Amino acid sequence: MPPDASRPRLSAPFRLSPLAARPLLAALALLLMFAVIVWREPRAASYLGLRLLLNFSIPLMFAAFAAMAVIVLGDIDLGLGPFIGLANVISARWLAGNPSLAALLLVLSLLAYAAMGALIAARRLPSIVITLGASFIWLGAGLLILPTPGGAAPDWLAALLRLHTPFVPLPLWLAVALALAGQILFITSPAGVVLRGFGGAPEALIRAGWSLIAAKSFLYGLAGAFGILAGLALTGINTTGDANFGTPYTLLAIAAVIVGGGEFAGGIVSPPGTVIGALILLLSGALLSFLDVSTDWQLSVQGGILILVLALRALLRKRDAHAA
């Protein structure tokens, strides 16, 4: 229950609702991190610097959107990373030589993801368990296709990811596009209201005549589609395939959604916040190398930034509860 629902909207015009403040908090943290990086290495702010810095944000942003499509339902996907790995090996093995086979397999895996959502909805199974079981299947299928790392990216895919975009590099354009498209689909459009409703109060929507199975199939299908995009992006950047490449993305993607303002309870996500969350997690890895600290501590900084952002948010929430 969002605390701002019961409060009159216009009583404090200069105060942001706590939900809207969350992505702003995340954006502030991102700017701060970027400022530190630029202070240590001014060339990071150049076109080429940004591009190198943000190269791996593309798969992470796609992965975060995949996680968001499931978290908006109040579900959790523990199989996303291995699924991204599967898309990575399918595309690395066949996309160059046998594109129709690769496309067929990718479409099949997308359908499998949607079917998983339908199964979870129809039998009212806990998502965490089903996606956990499925994670073994994705990883196994990936290893069956490429038992050892290998394969190659088709030239067009590698070229697409190296595309020289005007003004700012591709990852930033993609960030803006994803944030906008997500904001429209999940927040402002009528469909978005219904989809978020299924996370907040599914019984109410079912009673109003909406189909839970259709909603979950759609959102899990969407998660599958973003997962595939993340896998393709990995192929394009690494120009090789590895069934284990995707594994870290399971938790990184969930963390990006939550840092960006999402809630595990369902119904509350922020697409622009999720994009920012993904960039925060990416830069938290890079930050240390600019501060001349041993990369041994990189994971600590990542954990510390997660804690800091979420602790600040809890502080804001407390302040808000006192003010109300």
Partner 1 sequence: MPPERAEAPHAPLIRLARRPWFYAATGAVLVWLLVVASAEGRGAWATLGTALGFGTFYVITGLGQMLVIAAGPGNIDLSIPSMMTLAGYLGMGLMGGENGRLALGFLLAFGLGLAGGAANLLLIRLFAIPPMIATLAAGLVMQSVTIAYSRGSTAKPPPLLLDAALAHLGPLPLIALGALLLSAVMALLMSRSVFGRTLLALGQNARAAYLAGLRTGPAHAAAYLLSGVFAALAGFWLAAYSGGASLNMAEDFLLMSIAVVVLGGSRVSGGAVSVGGLWGASLLLYLIVTLLNVWTVSAGLRYVLTGLIILLVLGLSGER
Residue ranges that bind partner 1, judged by CB under 8 A: 76, 78, 123-126, 128-130, 132-145, 147, 243, 251, 254-255, 258, 264, 294, 296-300, 302-304, 306-307, 310-311, 314, 317-318
> Which pair of tokens denotes residue 135?
């994670």
Q: Would you give the DSSP letter of residue 92?
A: I
Reported for 134-140, long-range contacts at CB under 8 A and 24+ positions apart, including other chains, are 134/79, 134/83, 135/78, 135/79, 135/81, 135/82, 135/83, 135/250, 136/82, 137/79, 138/79, 138/82, 138/83, 138/85, 138/86, 139/82, 139/85, 139/86, 139/243, 139/244, 139/247
b (16+ CB within 10 A) / e for 61-95: bbbbbbbbbbbbbbbbbbbbbbbbbbbbbbbbbbb
Q: Minimal distance in Å, beta carbon 160 to partner 1? A: 29
Closer of 104 and 307 to partner 1 (Cβ): 307
Q: Minimal distance in Å, beta carbon 13 to partner 1? A: 28
CB 70 within 8 A of CB 127: yes
The alpha-carbon radius of gyration of the chain (Å, integer) is: 20
Closer of 123 and 164 to partner 1 (Cβ): 123
Closer of 44 and 254 to partner 1 (Cβ): 254
Closer of 57 and 135 to partner 1 (Cβ): 135
Closer of 208 and 308 to partner 1 (Cβ): 308
Q: Minimal distance in Å, beta carbon 159 to partner 1? A: 31
Closer of 163 and 314 to partner 1 (Cβ): 314
Q: Minimal distance in Å, beta carbon 54 to partner 1? A: 21
Q: Minimal distance in Å, beta carbon 136 to partner 1? A: 3
Q: Minimal distance in Å, beta carbon 133 to partner 1? A: 4
Closer of 161 and 223 to partner 1 (Cβ): 223
Burial grade of 17 (CB within 10 A; 0-12, 13-18, 19 or more): middle
Q: Minimal distance in Å, beta carbon 59 to partner 1? A: 19
> SS3 helix, strand, coil % of the chain, rounded to 5?
75, 0, 25
> Which pair of tokens denotes residue 198?
């299924």
